[in-house]
Homo-oligomer: A and B are copies of this chain.
Amino acid sequence: MPDPISDPIDTKQSLLDAAEALIAERGVAGASLRAITTRAGTNLAAANYHFGSKKALARAVIARHLRPINAERLRLLDAAEDEADDRGPDLESLVNIFVGPVVRFGREMPDRGRHFAQICGRAMTQPDPMLRESLLGELAEAIQRFTKAFARALPELSPEELLWRMQFMVGAMAHTIAGSQMIEAIHGDTLDTRDLDGIVERMVRFLCGGLAAPMEGSR
C-alpha cells in the first residue's frame, strides 16, 4: 500500500527535483538515471516516458528555472531603462540586475535554488555541447540586451573590450555560484558562503570596478 501522504502527486516534478539535486551534486555524467528515479520514488521507464531521454531530462532541469529567471532579468532591465534618463541606467544598476536574480534565486528556494545555480555555473564550460548550447540558447536574448545596455553605460570602451569584460563578469559569477569549493576548502571556517545578499553586494562592487577600469595604466 503506497503512502497516501507522500504519494507521487506529479511524477514529472519529482523527477525534475531529484535530477536537479543529483546533477548538482555529481554532475550530469555522475548522476545515473537509476539514482535519479530511485530518489524520485519511481523507476527507470518513467523517466524515459516523460522526457524521452536522459539528455532531455537534463535540458528540462536547466530550462525549468532559467526561463523565468531570464524573464525577470529582462523585466528589471526594461523597468530600469524606462526610469533612467537618456544616458540609460548606470553601471551599478545594470550589474545588479544582471547578477542579482541568479544568485538571489537561491534565497526563495534554498536547496533547489542553490542546486540550480551550481548546474548553470557548470554548464557553461561543460564539454557536452548539447547541454551547453541549450543553456546558451536560453541566455542568448538576455546577453544581447545586456550587451547593448552595458555599451551605453560604458561608452569609453571599444566593442571588443566590452565583450571581454562581460566574459570576465560571467566567469566570476559562474564560478562563484557553481560552488565556492575553493574558498570553502581553504577558509570554510571563517567565511559565511551562504549569505547570498552579502555575496551579491561584494560581487557587484568587484564587477563595477572591473567593468569601469580605465583603459590606460593611469595610476
A residues within 8 Å of B by Cβ?
25-27, 29-30, 90, 92, 121-122, 124-128, 132-133, 136, 139-140, 143, 159-161, 163-165, 167-176, 178-183, 185-187, 190-191, 199, 202-203, 205-215, 217, 219
Contact = CB atoms under 8 A, between A and B. Distances in A.
Given A182-B136, A202-B161, A215-B205, A27 B126 contact: yes
Given A208-B213, A209-B212, A203 B30 contact: no
A195 to B, nearest CB: 10
Contact of A171 (B132, B165, B172): B172
Given A171-B173, A172-B172, A175-B171, A183 B164 contact: yes
A134 to B, nearest CB: 12
As for how many copies of this chain the complex holds, the number is 2
Nearest to A136: B185
B171 A128 contact: no
7 contacts: A27-B126, A125-B181, A132-B181, A163-B191, A165-B202, A168-B176, A169-B172
